[in-house]
Amino acid sequence: MKATRLSLILVALACLATARAQEQDGAALLNQQVILDQGIEVREEKPVKRWTVVPLYTFTAFNDGRAGWQQEYIEILYQPLSNLILGTSIDIMQRPPAGTDILYSGLASWYPVKNLELHSKLSFCPDPQFAPNQIYSGGLEYQAAPRLLLLFDYTQFNFSSVAPLGPGSIEQVKPGFSWWFNDDVFFTFRYAQGWAFNDDNYNYYAGTMNFWNMPGGGRLTVGLAYGTDPDLDFGTGDTSLSNAWIGSLFYRQPITESFALVAGLQYVYRLQENNAGQLYQQWAPTIGAVWTF
């Protein structure tokens, strides 16, 4: 593929800064924890609180004089039945010089049986400046053994107005697994394979270690990923698709039985084409809370 063609695809991938990988992004990590918390309660048939509210704020800084980004995110989950969780979210992204995009989403998580969870999320941006028009995603978690969860997700990003290659889509499949060493420590691994506008493909690998019984009931998540991931913030478009090392650290500390504070940091070291040195570095601290009632 010619360099100019790759440049156009990277610009398209940069548009996908509206959605972040589950293993690295604070909002997704929190959503995974909240749904998994309630899923464990479903399997154990414990009483559950019906509402969960997760507000988050993220500031993204770059080196080499690149302008910083801001993101305000709020997610609301409701559990009408013991095996069903419904939710909605609003994601406000301020990305100079492109402007501000608002992404509206609806999501659901359903346990048809105790060892199987099905989930889906639909997102749309009414007037995108840099975002996809729609994002469709769905997947499952299957408890294959007492300590083993099998994971699979599919995501499609649709463009009709801001894609430099014209109308088209980017598709991604993401299998993986979670292994629980005990009730408080587990490891999650994901592999992703994607296709951009039927013209190029990419992949990445991501793993997280989760420690759920820290002093005071805190929860620590440490993640590391490598590869090309359109769910990450690519910054500004450059010459080609490029790989990156991505590290993340998130901590959730309960304050009361119903309220917890969250803080985290994501670091990205983006490589140039053919991994020939640094393209840029990126830091994204996040603060937020989880409120259940």
- At residue 8, does pLDDT exceed 60? no
**Which residue, among 244, 237, 241, has the nearest Cα to 2 in the 3D structure?**
241
Q: How far from 177 is each of 35, 142, 203, CA to CA, in Å?
A: 16, 9, 17
| pLDDT of 86 | 98
Report how far residue 61's alpha carbon sits from residue 30's, in angstroms, rounded to the nearest whole number. 22
pLDDT, tens digit (0-9, with 9 covering 90-100), for 196-226: 887 778 899 999 999 999 989 999 999 999 9
| pLDDT of 169 | 87
Q: What mean pLDDT do residues 29-47 have?
A: 58
Q: What mean pLDDT do residues 145-162 have?
A: 92
pLDDT, tens digit (0-9, with 9 covering 90-100), for 225-261: 999 876 554 333 433 467 899 999 999 999 999 999 9
3-state secondary structure the chain: CCHHHHHHHHHHHHHHHHCCCCCCCHHHHHHHHHHHHHHHHHHHCCCCCCEEEEEEEEEEEECCCCCCEEEEEEEEEEEEECCEEEEEEEEEEEECCCEEEEEEEEEEEEEEECCEEEEEEEEECCCCCCCCCEEEEEEEEEEEECCEEEEEEEEEEEECCCCCCCCEEEEEEEEEEEEECCCCEEEEEEEEEEEECCCEEEEEEEEEEEECCCHHHCEEEEEEEEECCCCCCCCCCCCCCCCEEEEEEEEEEECCCCEEEEEEEEEEEEECHHHCCEEEEEEEEEEEEEEEC
| pLDDT of 285 | 98
Domain boundaries, the chain: 3-292
> Angle 222-227-70 (CA atoms, 0-180°, nearest 5)?
65
Q: What mean pLDDT do residues 84-90 have?
A: 98
> Are 106 and 121 within 8 A, CB to CB?
yes
**Residue 30 confidence class, pLDDT cut points 50, 70, 90:** low
Domain 3-292, CATH class in plain words: mainly beta
| pLDDT of 131 | 85
- At residue 130, does pLDDT exceed 90? no
**Which residue, among 215, 214, 235, has the nearest Cα to 283 in the 3D structure?**
235
- At residue 19, does pLDDT exceed 60? no
| pLDDT of 274 | 78
Q: What mean pLDDT do residues 94-117 have?
A: 94
Residue bearing the bigger pLDDT, 196 or 135: 135
pTM score: 0.85
